A and B are shown apart, each in its own frame.
Chain A
Amino acid sequence: MSHPQDLSLREQAAAIASGALNPAELLDATFARIEERDGALNSVVVRFPDEAREMLAEAPRGPLYGVPVLVKDMFRLPWYAPHDGAPGVAAPPGESAVYRRLRDAGAVIAGITQCHYWGAGSTGHVSAWGPCGNPWNPAHCAGGSSGGSASAVGARLAAAAVGTDGGGSVRLPSAYCGVTGLKVTFGAIDGEGYTHGFSDMGAIGPICRDAADARLFGEVLTGQALTRGDGGPLRVGVIRDPWWTDLDPEIERACDDALDAAGWQRVELSLAAAEHQQAAALVCLTVQSLPMISAEELAEADPILRALTKFELTLTPAIVHQAARVRSLLRRAVADAFTRCDVLAWPTVPAPAPPIENPTVELPSGRAPADPGNLRQTGLGNLTGIPGISVPVGLHSSGLPMALQLQAAWGDDGRLFDAAEHLEQATGREFVDAAPEPAAAQSSRS
């Protein structure tokens, strides 16, 4: 057998269940691989060898019995206080709902993954844990804010990791790292013990190598069967403006080719108030997060984050009200769109992962910070509450992954797995089975 972390999540679970794989040996091999490969990535920032072995000793024979998984630095665990990527403690130790789901499924939590400072960025280069590298090139960003989860899965350190998504934070790093990440319908995964559970923008989600693994992990996290149907005969809504504009040409072509390969019927649509969705997403994220940041935390924060937070403090009540009205318009417009199509599709990110040293991207409109374009591509899902999945669709000439985002109506999360699996089959699984060279993961960040 190859290294057990080269097996998929479902293969690991099946091998343990059949007796072909010893879960204690899998756990040891997982820690060894993290030790071997994570030095240049910095994706697994806290490791739990003792607690993981205790979990394994008490694990029930659930669907993930004995399988090591990773959790973002935003969840309470009985032995761990989450930090949100900041120096201070964001919440005390305790049992989050995600912890209980994993424990009851028999999974073993092997460690905590890196998180962008306060979860407030899409690059992952700012964090009290230090920046997180991309498994395809550690000098480039893993993304954020669930960058550690996506990087660890992409580097084959674990087959599954939990992420959270308040403005794209599952989908964006998944796209950067060439893995599959789902933001569930708002509330589909219980947010108790999730440090941003106060927000009506944030959702939790599975990050895995492919759609079948993400479905399995998603079913564990939601506690529901995520139905398996035919992802072939779908009507795909394509909204050119703004989501197919100002894109890296290779990404636009890869996503277009993926839709062609899938053979889905395309429906050209427009969306009321779409031109204001990026600003509305920024405002809604801001007004919900700012009250949670104390003056003391702000004074001690990363200097760039501190300045950006002060910029956000100048937003006026008038713009907050406008954002709420745009949000309502968008929710209605999206509901109407889903009477004409089954899923919406556009690129998850406008450009490949930027360098850690200079997290800007080159777009047709010019060089720009990565965050605004990323939020433009993913904010709609958070404003409306609909589920979205990022699926790998190729490698850029830079050697970094490219990804397509599919979004479905509220509660239709299972359809996204159907669509993603169909797309994987239509492209010969070329992009989900692609793995970065371990040498890349071991190289220095320079």
Chain B
Amino acid sequence: MRASLHVLGYDVDETEIAVMRVADGVYGPQLRALVAADLSGVWAEPDMDPSRAPSARFPAGIE
């Protein structure tokens, strides 16, 4: 985490690392489950408009 942030141009101190560890404990399992989810064949909705229901054609791959 420290190295990846350094690449982005950010330094982190020990307090920040401690907070980030807590955040990872809270959100990390779900984020990793999201990465690991098998969504093969599911397409992100192109030109999504949250003001209305999705087109009946999307997302593909869930039938």
Interface set of A (CB-CB < 8 Å, partner B): 185-188, 200-201, 272-273, 275-276, 278-280, 282-283, 295, 298, 303-304, 306-308, 310-311, 313-316, 318-319, 321-329, 331-332, 335, 368-369, 372, 384-385, 409-411
Contacts and interface: CB of A to CB of B under 8 A. Distances in A.
A298 B30 CA distance: 26
B20 A328 contact: no
Given A316-B35, A325-B44, 10 more contacts: A186-B51, A276-B33, A282-B27, A303-B16, A310-B20, A314-B4, A327-B44, A329-B59, A332-B62, A410-B51
Given A325-B59, A332-B59, A372-B27, A311 B20 contact: yes
B62 A308 contact: no
B50 A328 contact: no
Contacts of B10: 295, 298, 310, 313
Consensus secondary structure, chain B interface: loop
A71 to B, nearest CB: 23
A121 B59 CA distance: 31
A410 B51 CA distance: 6
Contacts of B49: 385
Interface size class of B (residues with CB under 8 A): 35 or more
A298 B16 CA distance: 12
Given A187-B51, A325-B39, A410-B53, A319 B34 contact: yes
8 contacts: A279-B33, A304-B19, A311-B20, A318-B35, A328-B43, A328-B59, A329-B39, A331-B54
Given A319-B35, A410-B53, A279 B15 contact: no
A286 B11 CA distance: 19
Given A272-B62, A307-B19, A384-B50, A314 B5 contact: yes
Contacts of A316: 35
A303 B15 contact: yes
Residue from B8, B24, B27 whose CB has the most chain A CB atoms within 10 Å = B27
Given A331-B53, A332-B58, A323 B23 contact: no
A279 B45 contact: no
Nearest to A272: B62
A328 B58 contact: yes
Contacts of A327: 44-45, 48
Interface string B18-44: 111001101100110111010100111
Contacts of A308: 19-20, 23
B45 A369 contact: no
B24 to A, nearest CB: 7
Contacts of B42: 325, 328-329
Given A319-B31, A328-B54, A372 B26 contact: yes
B27 A279 contact: yes
A284 to B, nearest CB: 10
Contacts of B50: 186-187, 200-201, 331, 384-385
A279 B37 CA distance: 12
B31 A282 contact: yes
B53 A335 contact: yes
A185 B42 CA distance: 25
A326 B37 contact: yes
Contacts of A272: 62
Given A276-B30, A319-B31, A328-B45, A385 B51 contact: yes
A326 B5 contact: no
B17 to A, nearest CB: 8
Contacts of B33: 275-276, 279
B27 to A, nearest CB: 6
Contact of B26 (A200, A295, A369): A369
A200 B16 contact: no
A410 B23 contact: no
